[in-house]
Structure 1
Amino acid sequence: MTVVIWKDGRFLTPEEPALSAVDHGVTVGDGLFETCAVYGGQAFALSRHLRRLARSAAGLGLEAPDEAMVRRGVGQVLERAGEQAGRLRITVTAGAAPLGSMRGDGPLSVLVAAGPVGPAAVTNRVVRLPWVRNERSAVAGLKTTSYAENVVGYAYAAARGADEGLLANTVGALCEGTASNVFVERDGELLTPHLTTGPLAGITRELLLEWGVEEGLPVREARPDELPFTVLDDVATGRVHLALAGSIRNVVPVVALDGQGCAPGPLCLAAQELFTRRAGEQIDP
């Protein structure tokens, strides 16, 4: 299938321009986005994604787009895309503005697009990245379109045969992947870095924490100082296991770190099974 694109109430072809050359999202990356998995023609966890979209808008100092309008766009796009759609993206930018950092006073640009997605991976390979995430950045924890750092990090990982790259923050704490949250299985628990260390508050992360509590899986948010980046050194010894979480990958155990194979941990595998099952039971949890 081709990508189905909707902007401000009308459909566009992939060849049609969707944003002005002076849109602030184009010139300086002043925008935000959400990506949802699509199952059976419906966006998974859409309400949670729209709440996070509003939080990101507030963090950028932008007015949140009208939720009813976005939902209409999502519905129209998914109806046209049909059963083959596997991924939905909602993008909001600050709209037309002068060339530079100053925003204009025009309306937001709102786009919704849906397209196919490849076969789901059941495991992932990761590498440690040589750069850090700034947990004190003005946009830390926001899902913005200023994504160049993530693109560079992913390219570094892909060039080394990996599916994802892992980042520390500026004080040496384990933070996140370029497009995923990380879970660490250690001493009979599954831990994910605290949000104050700088990661995105992922929707899959959020749901796994909630569902894990409900089903007795020992999963929790770590204390801010509990997961140093050096915890990854213990993956090679088998004392630590890893899993990644994201809106398209869901929960995926890690089977290689920096080119060295490692076994998936039992809690990582249990988390994968739990998430897959619960996601199949409710489309908008």
Structure 2
Amino acid sequence: MTATVWVDGRLVDPEVATIGALDHGLTVGDGVFETCGVQDGQAFALTRHLRRLARSAAGLGLDAPDEALVRDAVGQVLRAAGPDAARLRITVTAGRGPLGSGRTPGAQTVVVAASPGLHHLTSSVVRSPWVRNERSAVAGLKTTSYAENVVALAHAVERGADEALLANTVGELCEGTGANVFVERGGELVTPPLSSGCLAGITRELLLEWGAAEGLPVREADPGELAFSVLDDVTAGRAHLLVTGSVRNVTPVVRLDGVDVAAGPLGERAAELFVRRRAQHVDP
């Protein structure tokens, strides 16, 4: 299956140009997006993703996307894509604009696309040499300005990994290029707080909620609690890691910086819990 694509009101051939060359999402990365997993032909946790899409748009100063329009587009795309669809992406840009950073008021481009996707059961990660700026104007927003993540992920792939973990500017563990991270130590799972600059991931959010509801010891860390050096404890076997994301779901880390590491028992419980609850609630 190739990608199935909808742009501004209609399904289009993904190989045919349908977005203007002066679209601000292309020229300066001025846009926001969401990626959802697809379960039984439906976008998983779509309501939460659309809520975050609106938050990201507001954070960039963009008009709120038309939720009814987006939902209709999602339905059209997934019906056309068929059973092989595993990943759905919703992109909203500032539309046609000048070649500089200024915007055209009221302009907007909406794209919805679906494609197959890989399902990870475990993950291999490396420490990134670059950091996340927790004081950035776009910290915590899911924007199309993704070059930093592309470079960091390419660095990880060159080293045989599928994700890179980043510190923030003050040396705290922050997140991956497209995933949140949980540390298992001291009999609990702990994830960096949003103040670290990490994205408020939907899978992260659901694991915190579902884990608490089922008695799994999982929580958000206090600011400063998780230094980036906690990864040394993982390679030494004193702690374990999980990474979470909308397509990878909840996956234990079994390799860090080229060193085999063990999946933790709480992490394995968390992965099982998430798969079970996800099957029960397509839009929790």
TM-score by length of 2: 0.99
Distance (whole Å) between structure 1 residues aligned to residue 130 and residue 95 of structure 2: 31
Distance (whole Å) between structure 1 residues aligned to residue 149 and residue 277 of structure 2: 29
Secondary structure in structure 2 of the residue aligned to 1:234: helix
Amino acid at match of 1:242: L
1:171-230 deviations in Å (ceiling 9; x for gaps) = 000000010000000100100000000000000000000001100000000001100000
Is contact 1:96–1:106 with CA below 8 Å preserved after alignment?
no
Q: Which residue matches 1:108? A: 108
1:249-272 deviations in Å (ceiling 9; x for gaps) = 000000011000100000110100
Give how far 1:106 is off.
Answer: 4.3
Q: Which residue matches 1:220? A: 219
Q: Percent identity?
A: 68
Is contact 2:181–2:244 with CA below 8 Å preserved after alignment?
yes
Is contact 2:34–2:89 with CA below 8 Å preserved after alignment?
yes
Give how far 1:161 is off.
Answer: 0.3
Amino acid at match of 2:48: R
The unaligned stretches of length 5 or more in structure 2 are none
Distance (whole Å) between structure 1 residues aligned to residue 143 and residue 176 of structure 2: 15
Give how far 1:19 is off.
Answer: 1.5
Indicate how the Cα distance of structure 1 residues 134 and 173 shifts in structure 2: closer, same or farther if over 3 A, else same.
same
Matching of residues 251-262 of structure 1 within 5 Å = 251-262=250-261
Q: Which residue matches 1:243? A: 242
TM-score by length of 1: 0.99
Is contact 2:12–2:18 with CA below 8 Å preserved after alignment?
yes
Q: Which residue matches 1:140? A: 139
Q: Which residue matches 1:53? A: 53
Secondary structure in structure 2 of the residue aligned to 1:11: strand
Give how far 1:148 is off.
Answer: 0.3
Give how far 1:105 is off.
Answer: 2.2
Is contact 1:242–1:265 with CA below 8 Å preserved after alignment?
yes
Distance (whole Å) between structure 2 residues aligned to residue 225 and residue 108 of structure 1: 39
- Asked if 1:210 is matched to 2:209, the reply is yes
Q: Which residue matches 2:67? A: 67
Distance (whole Å) between structure 2 residues aligned to residue 4 and residue 127 of structure 1: 33
RMSD: 0.7
Distance (whole Å) between structure 2 residues aligned to residue 195 and residue 220 of structure 1: 12
Matching of residues 16-31 of structure 1 within 5 Å = 16-31=16-31
Distance (whole Å) between structure 2 residues aligned to residue 227 and residue 112 of structure 1: 36
Q: Which residue matches 2:182? A: 183
Q: How many residues align?
A: 284
Distance (whole Å) between structure 2 residues aligned to residue 121 and residue 3 of structure 1: 20
Distance (whole Å) between structure 2 residues aligned to residue 33 and residue 17 of structure 1: 20
Secondary structure in structure 2 of the residue aligned to 1:229: coil
Runs of 4+ in 1 over 2 A off after TM superposition: none
Is contact 1:87–1:248 with CA below 8 Å preserved after alignment?
yes
Secondary structure in structure 2 of the residue aligned to 1:125: strand
Amino acid at match of 1:129: S
Is contact 1:254–1:264 with CA below 8 Å preserved after alignment?
yes
Distance (whole Å) between structure 2 residues aligned to residue 67 and residue 80 of structure 1: 20
1:69-93 deviations in Å (ceiling 9; x for gaps) = 0000001111111111111000000
Distance (whole Å) between structure 2 residues aligned to residue 237 and residue 148 of structure 1: 32
Amino acid at match of 1:127: V
Amino acid at match of 1:257: L
1:128-152 deviations in Å (ceiling 9; x for gaps) = 0000000000000000000000000
Give how far 1:107 is off.
Answer: 2.2
- Asked if 1:159 is matched to 2:158, the reply is yes
Give how far 1:155 is off.
Answer: 0.2
Deviates more, 1:74-83 or 1:208-217: 74-83
Distance (whole Å) between structure 1 residues aligned to residue 164 and residue 77 of structure 2: 32
